[in-house]
């Protein structure tokens, strides 16, 4: 069995004191040798953590001691190596950034559809199936027949919805009625917010995949699956397949996009510096910086020492204090 437990979690819940939770939560995670990223905002918590089983379970129990998080759900998978290099607890304006004020998934989200019922829903005639993830995520896998909005960030989705709601668009009214919409994302959080947004725009029949793609890949047998490809995840596994086994993609350290085995065989791929998608989009100065960074990584690897994720001096560890 792989050595490390990974837990993905989120919950929309009012946390007006979220800033006060940051330091104690950071310290507790570090004490349990748990790594990953947790985002805190006034609207709730979101993130993924990984580490030894007892450490991850201790962090989950610690979070659930807060009555507001007592029913916090999570999804588990396993990894042969730690999928994160450090632990970061960050403060955010939103735990997933849509950029539209007044969206409350606790009150307005669409109807959940369990993974075992998802195939039936998206096979219905007239249902518009929307992948709410970003373009680079959709590029390595999606549900058969799903619409790709070609967004670079989640905050671009509202503009796409508005454009497609115009006459002739995919979401336009027909005979005075808006279409039935089914939305999905990696773990469910973007779906909750996007379906809530859709309801504010007059879409009454809006559905989303409960637990997201990850729950679908975990519970639906591959023989019955309508999923094609792999699912991008925001950690060092890069992608997962059915059963949440680690996939076959790598990560370009320059542009942070997933790269296939064919990409890595390309002459345009330079480890840590460029890939076929970004080789002509980086300045020479940027490439020199990437080359130096990769040289340090290679040196650390030869000495079997950590490089990425090594503890930085407090005076230069500005990233840990980043918030938005």
Tell me if residue 185 is catalytic. Answer: yes
Query: For the stretch 78-95, what's the b/e string if a residue is b when 16 or more beta carbons lie within 10 angstroms of its beta carbon?
Result: ebeebbbebbbbbbbebb
Beta carbons within 8 Å of 179's beta carbon, 6+ residues apart = 126, 127, 128, 170, 171, 172, 203, 205
CA 48, 51, 53, 55 dihedral sign is: negative
135/149 Cα distance (integer angstroms): 8
Other Cβ atoms within 10 Å of 323 Cβ, number: 12
User: Six-digit token pair at 248?
Assistant: 């076959």
Q: For residue 207, what are the CA distances in angstroms to 89, 100, 247?
A: 31, 20, 28
Q: For residue 42, what are the CA distances in angstroms to 11, 21, 39, 185?
A: 11, 11, 10, 22
DSSP conformation letters of 28-44? HHHHTT-EEEEEEETTE
Q: What is the CA radius of gyration of the chain?
A: 21
The single residue of 185, 252, 275, 278 carrying the catalytic annotation is 185
Other Cβ atoms within 10 Å of 74 Cβ, number: 18
User: Six-digit token pair at 231?
Assistant: 């699912």
Angle, nearest 10°, between helix axes 53-64 and 18-31? 160
142 φ, ψ to 5°?
-165, 175
160/165 Cα distance (integer angstroms): 8
Other Cβ atoms within 10 Å of 170 Cβ, number: 15
246/55 Cα distance (integer angstroms): 22
| Active-site annotation, residues | 185
């Amino acid at each position: 069995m792989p050595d490390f437990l990974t837990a993905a979690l989120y919950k929309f819940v009012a946390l007006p004191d979220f800033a006060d939770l940051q330091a104690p939560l950071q310290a507790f995670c570090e004490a349990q040798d748990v790594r990953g990223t947790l985002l805190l905002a006034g609207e709730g918590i979101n993130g993924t953590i990984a580490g030894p089983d007892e450490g991850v379970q201790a962090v989950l129990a610690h979070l659930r001691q807060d009555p507001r998080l007592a029913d916090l759900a999570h999804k588990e998978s396993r990894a042969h190596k730690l999928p994160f290099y450090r632990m970061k607890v960050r403060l955010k304006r939103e735990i997933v950034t849509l950029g539209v004020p007044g969206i409350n998934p606790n009150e307005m989200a669409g109807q959940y559809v369990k993974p075992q019922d998802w195939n039936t829903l998206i096979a219905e005639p007239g249902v518009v199936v929307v992948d709410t993830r970003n373009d680079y995520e959709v590029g390595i896998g999606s549900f058969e027949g799903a619409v790709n909005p070609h967004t670079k960030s989640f905050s671009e989705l509202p503009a796409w919805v508005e454009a497609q709601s115009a006459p002739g668009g995919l979401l336009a009214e027909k005979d005075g009625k808006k279409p039935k919409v089914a939305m999905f994302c990696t773990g469910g959080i973007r779906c909750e917010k996007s379906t809530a947004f859709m309801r504010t725009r007059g879409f009454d029949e809006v559905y989303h995949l409960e637990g997201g793609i990850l729950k679908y890949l975990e519970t639906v047998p591959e023989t019955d699956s309508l999923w094609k490809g792999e699912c991008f995840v925001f950690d060092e596994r890069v992608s997962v397949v059915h059963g949440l086994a680690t996939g076959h993609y790598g990560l370009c350290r320059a542009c942070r996009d997933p790269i296939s085995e064919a990409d890595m065989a390309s002459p345009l791929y330079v480890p840590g510096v460029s890939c076929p998608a970004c080789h002509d989009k980086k300045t020479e100065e940027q490439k020199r910086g990437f080359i130096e960074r990769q040289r340090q990584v290679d040196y650390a690897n030869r000495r079997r020492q950590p490089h990425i994720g090594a503890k930085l001096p407090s005076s230069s560890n500005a990233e840990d204090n980043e918030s938005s």
